[in-house]
Amino acid sequence: MSERCYITTPIYYVNDRPHIGHTYTTVLADVMARHRRMMGEEVYFLTGTDEHGQKIEKAAAARGITPKALADEVVPNFETMWKRMEITNDHFVRTTHAAHKAVVQAKFLELLASGDIFKATYKGLYSVSDEAYVTETQAKEMQAQGLAHQLVELEEESYFFRLSAYENWLIQLYEKYPEFVQPEFRLNEVKQFVAPGGALGNLQDLSISRTSITWGIPVPGDEKHVVYVWFDALLNYLSACREGFWPPTFQLVGKDILRFHAIYWPAFLMAMHRQDGDDLQGELPARIRELLPRTILAHGWWLMGEDKMSKSKGNVVRPDQLLKFGNDAVRFFFMREMTVGLDRSFSFEGFMDRLNADLANGLGNLASRTLSMLIRYREGRVPVPATLDAMDLEILETGRLAASAYLEKAAANDFHGALEGLWTYLRQLDGYIVKAEPWKLAKDEGAQAKLDTVLCLLYRALRATAVLLAPVMPAMAQTLWKGLGQSGAVADQRFAGLDYDAPAPGPVAAPEPLFQRIDKETVMTELDAASAAAAPAAPAAELPLDVPPLREVVDYDTFAKTDLRVGLVLTAEAVPKSKKLIKMTVDIGFETRTILGGIATGYTPEELVGRKVVVVANLAPRALMGIESHGMLLAASDNNSKPYLVAPPADARPGFIVK
Ligand code: ME8
């Protein structure tokens, strides 16, 4: 039986359309899947969408539609994009599929019965953007990065996964089976997180249910809880696995979601597979290792210059912008430019330079020269070499080494290195042509045998190149394959069966250009024009300041009577029937207050949660719309503008006095 290989991508959130990050991961997975098929492996390749959780619930609310309607609208964008990019996934999983939900609920109940999931009360800081509780250290890191507004203090009844109990086994997994996370420096990151300095006792149990949201898979038998979105999402790899393919061979993830995949995910699986008698403090049984993913492959990010791409910065590259240069060109660029694991900065100029140099010149030029010479000098028939001189033997040996190095690197998922090496070889072939001077040989009656050798070696080199490149550039490799007079699909070839010396079948065809050279200047001008058109319109001329005259002077003691405190908004909701009022609960360090603010023209309730504010804390309570307000928030405005809340610095703690 041939070897089986199960490859997964992350499942993508449906709050965005595909961007370069999604596209890169999916193309990498596809190249790996195609390559492994040509290695003779039986591949199951899974991708899909992650549709539950607070992020999606919020995005849908902002649009005024249900989360399911949002997902149904966005999912086809992914499916269509993958078709357009010739992605050969065997299945597309959606976490809203009934089959997936059933597996999540069944596994939840199993772990509840085994004691790996239990119910308790939890109080802690929760990161709204990560949908995860954070440790004190993480909270400090976030505060230092100015992300304090994304933290809220939550107290809720929750189901917990006994993550702490798996720390010992996890550490053994990383130590004994370092192939579990690749590349190696990413494994070190994970180890550092789980056991800084090699010390145990750092992992805390993980809250895996929520009562604060409703968009999720209900906890069976306790339906006011929904299953935490990461427990739900990670289980897609299990629920959508094809019979006989477990465990996953390669799971591709971006560096930002490595922690979830390298810590939580194997721990969930350990809990599902452990048996009575297994000792969690003892050795990790080999039987369990075999049921865990073989490798979590973590890639880096495409950056814009040195910057992270983000919707708010408006610098996100979308696949449509690249695909007008051809799908294979994009696939090639991704594989050639990015070293799996590292970040890489993207630029349109670099993109075009790479394609012009490697595809229009490099490969395209070599193919068209070779085919033209075969047609011109041999009427398209491929001759057989008579004798080989030292120069021929050298290029043959170079080719043999280049092909095996390519296959070795590609099998280790180093497509960057594989392609770099192959292109060095293509340049050596150009050098071989220059040295052999076939155009001179053609004119020399006595050099015909030598010309046969040169043409044949070039033909064979291109034929091997078409096979090697088929996973990376399926359409271009097929065009070349056909041009070389080969029949059938190049993707049906097997690397092991690659017969370098096989006779050529039919005559070669007139060369079809593999890649049209890009006129970089024209494209850059178009891009500049498009980005100028898309740039936000200049702000409307500001209205003149409209404020009342300065109030009468007060002495310090009068001012000092006002007690101002830093507060943290814990919850916020619109007050029914009021256009302006928002009702909030605000933590002011020593107590939590209900405060009404007339700020709905400036803020949505969602934007307020997690925000630090300045509270007038000793104002007499006042009832508005039948609700008593215990304080007031400071906001800046003039008579025309919306209110702008006064914001204390990120690390000011609730309760701090403002004076
Ligand atoms: O994280 N370059 O989904 P997602 C490269 N639903 N990769 C990038 C990138 C960039 N500039 N920006 C984002 C999720 N990514 C979860 C996964 S799996 C059980 C659940 C990558 O749609 C990012 O690293 O936010 C991540 O791997 C992927 O895009 C999906 O992001």
**Ligand 1 pocket mutation, candidates 7, 22, 28, criterion most atoms within 8 A of CB:** 22
User: Residues 68-78: pLDDT tens digits?
Assistant: 999 999 999 99
| SS3 of residue 107 by DSSP | helix
Nearest CA, atom 26, ligand 1: 254
Nearest CA, atom 22, ligand 1: 12
Contact 317, 20 (CB under 8 A): yes
- Overall average pLDDT of the 141-156 stretch: 86
Q: Measure the CA–CA gap between 12 and 29, rounded to whole angstroms.
A: 14
- For residue 513, give the DSSP letter: P
β-pair type (250-254, 295-299): parallel
| Superfamily (CATH) of domain 556-645 | Nucleic acid-binding proteins (2.40.50.140)
User: Residues 173-227: pLDDT tens digits?
Assistant: 999 999 999 999 999 999 999 988 777 788 999 999 999 889 999 999 999 999 9
**Ligand 1 pocket mutation, candidates 8, 19, 24, 25, criterion most atoms within 8 A of CB:** 25
What residue segments make up the domains of the chain, in order of their start? 348-497, 556-645
Q: In degrees, to the nearest 5, what angle opens at C-alpha 650 toward C-alphas 644 and 654?
A: 90
Contacting residues for 196 by C-beta, under 8 A, at least 6 apart: 202
- Pick the closest to residue 229 from 475, 56, 97, 421 (CA basis): 56
**What DSSP element (H or E) covers 237?**
helix 236-239
Secondary structure (DSSP) of 122-161: EEEEEETTTTEE--HHHHHHHHHTT-GGGEEEEEEEEEEE
**What DSSP element (H or E) covers 567?**
strand 564-574
- How many alpha carbons lie under 13 Å from residue 186 in its C-beta half-sphere? 26
Which residue has 């041999």 as its token pair? 378
- Overall average pLDDT of the 647-657 stretch: 82
CATH number of 348-497: 1.10.730.10
User: Residues 568-616: pLDDT tens digits?
Assistant: 888 788 888 888 899 998 989 988 899 999 998 888 777 777 788 999 9
Q: What are phi and psi of 620, to 5 degrees?
A: -60, 140
Q: Measure the CA–CA gap between 297 and 179, rounded to whole angstroms.
A: 9
Nearest CA, atom 7, ligand 1: 21
Q: Measure the CA–CA gap between 549 and 559, rounded to whole angstroms.
A: 18
Task: List % helix, strand, coil for the chain (3-state, nearest 5).
Answer: 45, 20, 35
Q: For 384-393, 474-483, 525-534, which range has the lowest pLDDT when averaged over its residues?
A: 525-534
Amino acid 610: pLDDT = 73
β-pair type (564-574, 657-658): antiparallel
Which residue has 């195609």 as its token pair? 34
User: Residue type for 589, please?
Assistant: G
Amino acid 541: pLDDT = 53
Give me 309's structure tokens.
């791409």
Residue 19 CA, ligand 1 centroid: distance in Å: 9
Is residue 237 in contact with ligand 1, taking CB distance under 6 Å?
no
Q: Measure the CA–CA gap between 297 and 321, rounded to whole angstroms.
A: 27
Residue 10 CA, ligand 1 centroid: distance in Å: 7
- Average pLDDT over the chain, rounded to an integer: 92
Q: Measure the CA–CA gap between 316 and 301, rounded to whole angstroms.
A: 12
Nearest CA, atom 30, ligand 1: 12
pTM here is 0.80
Q: Measure the CA–CA gap between 28 and 420, rounded to whole angstroms.
A: 16
Strand ranges in 51-116 using DSSP code E only, listed in sequence order: 91-94
